[in-house]
Structures are given as structure tokens and as C-alpha cells.
Chain A
């Protein structure tokens, strides 16, 4: 059979079926949307965090924190050691007071917090930007180790450490998203299968007749598969709309607060690959549901 006639027949029947039993179909569509929102939401967040981590990593910062009671000669010795390193792009000294000021800037809402503390817990430090070629784990670790052993130095921290921990978090987040979304997706598939099974039962006579007059299985099943695919497609489009709305609300919320965290939530919503994946997943879920649903009608005649 010609492909255009086949698709027209299948989707024509599927649309009739959807319109005819809107309510049942809507529940399947909604559940598919929900599962994709959960899945897509976690993916979006982890993806954005990953982008953020990537940008951080490129900065190649090492921060050398001094002990609270460091002496000027100690500070001088550390500064010299840093300056002599060939891996350094630039560095600057940040006093404890500067650290406190920066904290107040970063967290305006918490501004008074520091004054409530007896002494400033934020140590003085050297903020070092490493040369491009050394912005990798091994090089940063080697540098941090050299500086860490110097007298008067409390600890040397490089971004990668933070990033590593964040990465673990992001991966954990993605995992949770996959598990949660996967669970809801299975529920969505079952719902779709049930909705379509009801339809298969209602169209029992038609299935029998079509087989008797010589329709191929692809024609007999076509409308049910098309209906599953359509439900999945509608569900994924709905999910994308919901995700978009959530992103907009999230961004405007953060913007309204005037928070300096704003650049962190520079959410990249539009992502063709993720869109395609979610729609593909929705359509696949619908198709699986339809296939499951049709199982019982295999031997009808």
C-alpha cells in the first residue's frame, strides 16, 4: 500500500478515536507529559549545571588560604613562591576584610551575618589564575600541593575539587531524574496501554472484519499504533510547554530577587537535542503502550 494512503488511513482513524474518547486519551497524554516533565526537568537542570561547571573549569582558579595567624614574612614567602611559578597567569592577595566584603556583596540578604560573628571566619587568601595549559586536574593538583606545604598556608583549593563534588551532585541529580522519570514513564506506558486496550476491545468487530477482507497486519494495527504515537507526541509537546513555563517562572523569580546568582541560572532552555529526545521518548512510550495493548487482539478473527 502507498505510504501516504497508509498514513492518512491510520492517523485519520487515530484522530477520530482520540476526539471520540477525549477524556481517556487526555489522562494518558497527561501522564506521558508528567513523566517527561520530571525527566526533562532533571535533564535540563543537570545540563545547565554542567554548562556552568564547564565555564568554571575554564577559569582555572586556585585559592591558597592562609592560616589565621600568618606572619607578613610568611605571606611574602608564599607570594614569592607563587610569582616564581611558571604556571601562573596572574594572582592577587585578598585580605580577610576583602573576603568579608565580597561575602557581603555576594549575599546581601545575609549581610549582617558577619557582624554577628565574633571574628571574621573568612581567611585571607591568594587568588591565583593558572595559565591555560595547566588548567587540568593533574597540574592544578601539583600546584596546590606545593603551596599547601608552605608555612602559614592553611589549605590550597582549586576549582576542580569543587567542580568534582558538584559533578557528583549533578550526576546524582541526573540519576534521580532518570529513576523518577523512568518510573512515571512506565506508569504512563501502562496508562496508554490501558486506554488503547479499551479502544481495541471497542473495535473488536472491525479488527475481525479487516482481517477477513484481506487487510495486512500493519493496516489492522496501524490506527492503534498511530493513536499511541499521537498520544505520546501530544504528551511530549505538553511537557515541553510545561518545562518552558517552569523555566520562565524560575528565571523571573531569580531576577526579581536581584540575586548575584543570576548568571548561574542563565538557563538554556532551547536545546534541539533535548527536545528531540523528549519527543522521541514520548512517541516511543505511546507506541510501546499501543503494542502492549494490541497483544490480546493478535488472534481475533
Chain B
């Protein structure tokens, strides 16, 4: 699902990632961990092609990101589901519309978008909140909405950057269980978190970043 060969990412004089190589197979559940500033967010941004590596090769969901033309980015992104610490919900649209809008935006019919949205909201357990606006529901619920939104395009790969960073431990665990269920249905999941307590709650492999370098697997066990 992901193949990363000797990827380096620099911002001018700052090198955020140095010579990163790893592979993640289809159906895996992987934690990407490391202290704040280790480069987790940067790596995820490379994976969803918000940025290009300074050097190295990156193949995600069958696409070589370094050579992929810009206009193919939207179609590529539909193979991914993205979840963020700050949820990135549209505040003046209802919970329901936040999810349904994705369907409309990628070309589903109105009816299909509505149906998918209500199914997914039920799946993540916030169907009772569908007509409220994001600021009117709790953080845990907002994150569930953003997960429902990420699932609208039935992604092959789910990337989550600190998805529980704004949640208390109980809510965090609920979110992780949802990710676990999504993973068991066949979707590859990569969760970046600096929260060591989260790791191991649902199993899966762990990759550790340290100051922009990947700690070799043997040492991280």
C-alpha cells in the first residue's frame, strides 16, 4: 500500500525527514510515533501529496507521487481517507452536510450522497447528531463525523494525524476502536500519534520517528 524509498524532506536549512525507507502492506494497522517535532506530520503530508519529497521515491496506493501530475491529485486523494487532530469540519454546515458534501464534491448523485452520509453517520454512532452543527457536539463526536467523512470515498488507506490529540482517554479509545473496525474491513490504517498509551490498545505494528529518522525495526521492538 505504501512504499517509501530513501525519502528526505527539507525546508530550506531544516531537514524534517532524513532517508526514510519503509513499506506498509495492504490491510496493515500501523502506528507512527515519536516525540513532537519528530516529523510525523511531515511524513503524512508527503503520503497524501500535500508536499513532494526533496529526494527519494514514494509509492502510495499504486501511484508514484513524485511523478504524478498535479491534476491527478484529486483522484488519488479519493483513495485515501484523512483524519486530523483538529477535525477540519465546516462549522456552518450541519454534521450531515459535512459528510454528504464530500459525496457531491466527488460526483455522487444527491440521493447517493445522502444515503452514504446517513449510513456512515450511523456506523460511527453520531446519527442522532446529524442536524446539529459541529460546534454543538462534543470533540469525540466531531472526530467521529470526520471519520465518517473520510470513509465517504471508501478509501483503501486511512491516514490519521494525532486523531485523539484533542480527546480524553475514554473518547480516544472509542476512536481507536472505530479505526480498528475499519482496518478489519480491509482498509490499511496509519495513525500518527505521540501518545504512547494509545499504542497497543488495538494491536498493530509501530514505526518510530526520531528527529526525522526512522528507528530501525529491530531496535524499536
- Chain A interface (Cβ < 8 Å from any Cβ of B): 1-2, 5-6, 8-9, 205-206, 208-217, 219, 301
Query: A209, B107: Cβ atoms under 8 Å?
Result: no
B105 touches which of A2, A8, A215, A301 (Cβ 8 Å):
A215
Could you list 15 A-B pairs, sorted by A, with CB under 8 Å? Answer: A2-B107, A8-B110, A9-B104, A206-B90, A209-B90, A210-B101, A211-B77, A212-B82, A213-B82, A214-B73, A214-B75, A214-B78, A215-B74, A215-B105, A219-B105
* Chain A residue with the shortest CB-CB distance to B48: A212
Contacts of B82 in A (CB 8 A): 212-213
Q: In whole angstroms, what is the CA distance A168 to B78 when docked?
A: 62
Most buried by B among A1, A205, A206: A206
Binary per-residue interface labels of chain B (163-197) against chain A in the complex, 1 for a CB within 8 Å, 0 otherwise: 00000000000000000000000000000000000
Q: Give the complex CA separation of A1 and B110 in angstroms.
A: 12
Task: Decide: B106 and A205 in contact? CB cutoff 8 A.
Answer: no
Judge whether B149 is part of the interface by a CB distance below 8 angstroms: yes
Q: How far is B102's CA from A206's CA once the two chains are assembled, in angstroms? A: 10
Interface centre among A6, A212, A219 (most CB of B within 10 A): A212
Whether B115 is near chain A, meaning CB under 8 Å from some CB there, is no
Partner of B106, one of A208, A214, A217: A214
Mostly, the A contact residues are helix
What is the minimal beta-carbon distance from A40 to any residue of chain B, in angstroms? 37
- Chain B 112-143 per-residue mask, 1 if CB under 8 angstroms from chain A, else 0: 00000000000000000000000000000000
Q: Shortest distance in angstroms between A224's beta carbon and chain B's nearest beta carbon?
A: 14
CB interface residues, B 67-112, toward A, < 8 Å: 71, 73-78, 80, 82, 88-91, 93, 101-102, 104-110
Number of A-B contacts defined by CB within 8 Å: 61
**B105 engages A212 (CB within 8 Å):** no
Chain A proximity of B79: nearest CB distance (Å): 8
Distance in angstroms between the alpha carbons of A216 and B76 in the assembled complex: 11
Asked if B156 is an interface residue, CB under 8 A from chain A, the answer is no
* Option from A8, A205, A211, A219 in Cβ contact (under 8 Å) with B90: A205
Within the complex, the shortest CB–CB distance from B133 to chain A, in Å, comes to: 13
Q: A212 to nearest B CB, angstroms?
A: 5
B50 contacts A by Cβ under 8 Å? yes
Residues of B within 8 A of A (CB): 48, 50, 71, 73-78, 80, 82, 88-91, 93, 101-102, 104-110, 149-150, 152-153
**Inter-chain contacts of B48 with A (CB < 8 A):** 212
Chain A to chain B: the 8 pairs with minimum beta-carbon distance, closest first: A214-B77, A1-B107, A214-B78, A215-B105, A216-B74, A214-B74, A213-B102, A206-B90
Contacts of A212 in B (CB 8 A): 48, 77, 82, 88
Query: How far apart are the CA atoms of A289 and B45 in the complex, in Å?
Result: 32
Write out the residue numbers on chain B whose beta carbons fall within 8 Å of the beta carbon of A209.
Answer: 88-90
Which residues does chain A contribute within 8 Å of B153, judged by CB atoms?
Answer: 213-214
For the A-B complex with A206-B101, A210-B101 known, give 8 more contacts whose Cβ atoms are closer than 8 Å.
A5-B108, A5-B109, A5-B110, A212-B48, A214-B78, A215-B105, A216-B74, A219-B106
> For residue B108, which residues in chain A have a CB less than 8 angstroms away from its CB?
5
Provide the residues of chain A in CB contact with B80, threshold 8 Å.
214
A301 neighbours in B (Cβ, 8 Å): 50
Q: How close is B47's CB to chain A, nearest CB, in angstroms?
A: 13
Complex contact A213–B152 (CB within 8 A): yes
Task: Please pick, from B76, B88, B104, the residue contacting A208 in the complex, using a CB distance under 8 A.
Answer: B88
Contact of A210 among B50, B105, B150 (CB under 8 A): B105
Determine the chain B residues whose CB is within 8 A of the CB of A216 once the complex forms.
71, 74
- Complex Cα spacing A264 to B26, Å: 82
B78 proximity list for chain A (CB < 8 A):
213-214
B75 CB contacts on chain A under 8 angstroms: 214
Give chain A nearest CB distance to B202 CB in angstroms. 25
A211 to B45, CA, bound (A): 13
Using A205-B88, A205-B90, A205-B91 as known contacts, say yes or no to A213 and B149 having CB atoms under 8 A apart. Answer: yes
Output the least CB separation between B114 and chain A (Å). 13
Chain A min CB distance to B191 (Å): 17
Minimum CB distance partner of B107 in chain A: A1
Which residue in chain A gives the minimum CB-CB distance to B149? A213
- Separation in Å of the B40 CB from the closest CB of chain A? 17
